[in-house]
Chains A and B, each alone.
Chain A
Amino acid sequence: MAQYIKPLPQITAETREFWEGCKRHELLIQRCKDCGVYRHYPRLMCPKCGSWNVEWVKVGGRGKVYTWTVAVQPFHPGFFEDVPYAVVIVELEEGVRMVSNIVDCAPEEIYIGMPVEVVFDDVTEEVTLPRFRTA
């Protein structure tokens, strides 16, 4: 694998299960065991009810583009070859939203409401990033 020079997540106690799920190509999202509300980013406490009881639920990975933008100018050496590239906010069927990229269509083809599904990109031996493709 060529040297990967894009930023990588720092895996913390709070987020470890998310990233370990990604390595197994499973999208795990936190759900409060007391009030049942899904949340992402991972949090220690439920912002709705304050509970510390949490489960990691394997979700379907299907959703829609909520909004998006295209970087025409690069801001980091790891992305010099990538511009123009799109950054999307995907709203999953479970209701949570996440920032990601679309892997299989040109930036100008993306639209708000576009159906997408998760794919897993093993960018290094330690880190797998969830991205999305058109569905």
Chain B
Amino acid sequence: MEKFTLRDKAAIVGIGETEYSKNSRMSNLALLLQAATRAIEDAGLTPKDIDVVIPAMHVIPFEELAVNLGIEDLKYAVTTHMGGASAVASLESAAMAVAAGIATNILCVTGWNGYSAMRASAIGQAGDASASAMPMLSPMPKLRDFEMPYGVFVPAQWYAPMAMRHMHEYGTTSRQLGAVAVACRKHAQLNERAMMRGRAMTIEDHQNSRMIVTPFHLFDCCLESDGAAAVVVTAAERAAAMRHRPVYIMGVAEGHPVPVDQIAARPDMFQIGLSYAAPRAFAMAGLTPKDIDVAEIYDCFTWVVICQLEALGFCNRGEGGHFVEGGRIVLGGELPINTHGGLLSQAHVLGMNHIVEAVRQLRGDAGAAQVKDAEIALVTGWGDLGDGSIAILRR
């Protein structure tokens, strides 16, 4: 019997985004519903056609989304809990649900008031010493008990020691981290939906930006944004008859580092979730990194991109810093990444915007940022303490 595979079983047929801003004046729920209804409309469907809703990360419970959308027969309920890796991981659950015949049209959606509701200064004013610096998220118990008492509060502080160790072992430099930030900012200039459009950045701007947590300067850190994004996934055999050119999911996987709840204890800090997931996804797709035309790499921090490029096999361990230099990751280069500007310069909507951009690239709708003749796109997610997710998409 032939081994079952998710390859080419599902397709993304609808995309939707809200405006990205620092002051949405909308609730989290309203943001998610706006992105959702836009994605459903883009697919040529109505909300009643949706039979599964997958919130990527628990910002809004699926119940509230389903009730507002008027879904009459919700066939499956699941939420992906992998922080920034949740969006791409939701594609995996969606592909499984359609491949298994459980569902027809699946909505994957996420977003938040990531600026207006979550500023550290706003939390400080509350004066609650037990507050998480990310108040929507309850901290993992072990982080709460063994790291927060020492002053570890935000994701930058989780990943910074990894980056410091990478610099120590492999000679990775701050200017190499900066090359990622500059590439994303350059691409944001081409994107009218990018929060940093009109604000060019040079490597010197990056080097001169204030230090947040060593080795991360301000411009190594992603934006904090209000906004939401969504996609609609359906079965491949239905997709061809729908409004837009379908984008097929060729390979999809998630992975988790060990131990999953503690970075410090890992014998090899650079064996991340994606180190497990990427070989699975490439094998499913029957492709190698050389086949990728454009890559949207989760970029909560610049160094995280470098670490993922190594785990994906675009370069060897320790060579990621060198890889991102010299224009290789800029449009026109060997591997254009984050053609929308990424979390660093478009908006931080938990990476669902990376999936939306990959779909635009494969539809040929990416405007000034279009990678010519893009046929294969790769999208990653990185979340919590290095959880990873990956999707390989084709037109």
The residue of chain A having its C-beta at the shortest distance from the C-beta of B266 within the complex is A97
**How near does chain B come to A122, taking the closest CB pair, in angstroms?**
13
> In the complex, what residues of A have CB within 8 A of residue B213's CB?
69-73
Instruction: Please tell me if the beta carbons of A68 and B124 are within 8 angstroms of each other in the complex.
Output: no
Instruction: Please tell me if the beta carbons of B161 and A71 are within 8 angstroms of each other in the complex.
Output: no
Instruction: Please tell me if the beta carbons of B129 and A75 are within 8 angstroms of each other in the complex.
Output: no
Q: Is A45 an interface residue (CB 8 A)?
A: no
Binding site for A on B (CB under 8 A): 120, 123-124, 127, 129-131, 133, 141-142, 144-154, 157, 160-162, 164-165, 168, 210-215, 259, 261-262, 264-265, 269
The docked-state distance in angstroms from the alpha carbon of A71 to that of B221 is: 14
Given contacts A40-B265, A96-B265, A97-B265, contact A73 B212 (CB under 8 A): yes
Across the interface, A99 reaches (CB within 8 A) one of B133, B152, B261, B269, namely B152
Q: Is A56 an interface residue (CB 8 A)?
A: no
> In the complex, what residues of B have CB within 8 A of residue A85's CB?
151
The docked-state distance in angstroms from the alpha carbon of A71 to that of B262 is: 19
Q: Is A67 an interface residue (CB 8 A)?
A: yes
**How near does chain A come to B150, taking the closest CB pair, in angstroms?**
5
> In the complex, what residues of B have CB within 8 A of residue A76's CB?
123-124, 129, 131, 133, 151, 153
The residue of chain A having its C-beta at the shortest distance from the C-beta of B217 within the complex is A72
Instruction: Please tell me if the beta carbons of A100 and B150 are within 8 angstroms of each other in the complex.
Output: yes
> In the complex, what residues of A have CB within 8 A of residue B141's CB?
10, 12
The docked-state distance in angstroms from the alpha carbon of A78 to that of B265 is: 26
Given contacts A69-B214, A70-B213, A71-B157, contact A9 B149 (CB under 8 A): yes
Instruction: Please tell me if the beta carbons of A87 and B157 are within 8 angstroms of each other in the complex.
Output: yes
Instruction: Please tell me if the beta carbons of A77 and B214 are within 8 angstroms of each other in the complex.
Output: no
Binding site for B on A (CB under 8 A): 5-12, 15, 39-41, 47, 66-80, 82, 85, 87, 89, 96-101, 107, 112, 123, 127, 129, 131
Given contacts A76-B133, A87-B157, contact A70 B151 (CB under 8 A): no
**How near does chain B come to A118, taking the closest CB pair, in angstroms?**
13
The docked-state distance in angstroms from the alpha carbon of A131 to that of B149 is: 11
Across the interface, A67 reaches (CB within 8 A) one of B146, B164, B259, namely B164
**How near does chain B come to A14, taking the closest CB pair, in angstroms?**
9
**How near does chain A come to B154, taking the closest CB pair, in angstroms?**
5
**How near does chain A come to B342, taking the closest CB pair, in angstroms?**
22
Instruction: Please tell me if the beta carbons of B151 and A87 are within 8 angstroms of each other in the complex.
Output: yes
Instruction: Please tell me if the beta carbons of B214 and A112 are within 8 angstroms of each other in the complex.
Output: no
Instruction: Please tell me if the beta carbons of B164 and A72 are within 8 angstroms of each other in the complex.
Output: no
Give 7 A-B pairs besides A9-B144, A73-B212 with Cβ atoms closer than 8 angstroms: A10-B144, A12-B145, A41-B261, A66-B264, A74-B124, A89-B161, A101-B150
> In the complex, what residues of A have CB within 8 A of residue B120's CB?
73, 75
> In the complex, what residues of B have CB within 8 A of residue A74's CB?
124
Given contacts A7-B130, A85-B151, contact A69 B210 (CB under 8 A): no
- Report, nearest first, the 10 A-B pairs whose CB atoms are least far apart: A69-B160, A9-B145, A75-B153, A67-B165, A5-B129, A67-B161, A7-B148, A97-B264, A70-B214, A72-B211
8 residue pairs of the A-B complex, CB under 8 angstroms, read A9-B145, A41-B145, A41-B261, A47-B259, A67-B164, A68-B161, A87-B151, A97-B265
> In the complex, what residues of B have CB within 8 A of residue A123's CB?
149
The docked-state distance in angstroms from the alpha carbon of A15 to that of B264 is: 18
The residue of chain A having its C-beta at the shortest distance from the C-beta of B144 within the complex is A10
The residue of chain B having its C-beta at the shortest distance from the C-beta of A101 within the complex is B150
The docked-state distance in angstroms from the alpha carbon of A10 to that of B138 is: 14
The residue of chain A having its C-beta at the shortest distance from the C-beta of B120 within the complex is A75
> In the complex, what residues of A have CB within 8 A of residue B124's CB?
74, 76-77, 80
